């Protein structure tokens, strides 16, 4: 369990959406605001009974995505390991190539690639049955 002071707790709570969930993008913002590493946010959310939603790479949530981009796919595939692309690498590719993270997510979602090692700690790896969630 990660202990937060009252100010940190308020910062988490004021960044929840209308359904009381924390979006992936806001999770990064909250990490910075409360002075924690992003990888700790999933544990903090679990401790506070908050759902993290809308993964920008399409792993979970209800974000809408566009069609797959073959050029982006080729780049992602080259940087993947056995069709697994680390979350952080996918985000870096978006920055390096001047692409929106949604376009990267769209390409991953409509391909054989799987995201691993979530930067905010929601999951670590992917197996044959789905994602192995980070331990509580």
Task: Convert the pLDDT of each residue in 10-27 to its tens digit.
Answer: 999 999 999 999 999 999
Asked whether residue 135 is domain-assigned, the answer is no
Do 32 and 74 reside in the same domain of the chain? no
Do 39 and 86 reside in the same domain of the chain? no
| Model pLDDT for residues 73-104, shown as the tens digit of each residue | 999 999 999 999 999 999 999 999 999 999 99
Task: Give Cα 46 distance to the centre of its chain.
Answer: 15
The rounded mean pLDDT for the chain is 91
95, containing H or E segment: helix 87-97
Q: What is the pLDDT of residue 125?
A: 60
- State how far the alpha carbon of 15 is from the alpha carbons of 29, 50, 104, in Å: 9, 11, 25
Q: Please tell me what DSSP assigns to residue 8.
A: H
Residue spans of beta strands (DSSP E) within 1-136: 22-23, 52-53, 84-86, 114-116, 123-127, 130-133
Angle between helices 24-34 and 6-13 (to 10 degrees): 160
Boundaries of domain holding 37: 6-53
Q: How many domains does the chain have?
A: 2
| Model pLDDT for residues 116-135, shown as the tens digit of each residue | 999 999 986 655 444 444 43
Do 85 and 123 reside in the same domain of the chain? yes
String of b and e for 26-40 (b: at least 16 CB within 10 Å)? bbbebbebbebebee
Asked whether residue 64 is domain-assigned, the answer is no
Do 123 and 76 reside in the same domain of the chain? yes
């Amino acid at each position: 369990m990660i202990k937060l002071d009252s100010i940190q707790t308020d910062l988490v709570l004021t960044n929840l959406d209308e359904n009381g969930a924390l979006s992936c993008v806001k999770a990064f913002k909250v990490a910075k605001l409360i002075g924690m590493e992003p990888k700790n946010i999933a544990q903090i959310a679990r401790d506070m009974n908050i759902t993290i939603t809308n993964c920008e790479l399409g792993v979970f949530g209800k974000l809408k995505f566009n069609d797959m981009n073959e050029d982006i796919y080729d780049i992602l595939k080259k940087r993947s390991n056995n069709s697994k692309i680390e979350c952080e690498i996918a985000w870096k590719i978006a920055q390096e190539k001047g692409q929106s993270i949604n376009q990267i997510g769209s390409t991953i979602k409509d391909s054989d690639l799987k995201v691993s090692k979530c930067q905010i700690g929601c999951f670590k790896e992917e197996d044959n049955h789905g994602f192995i969630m980070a331990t509580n």
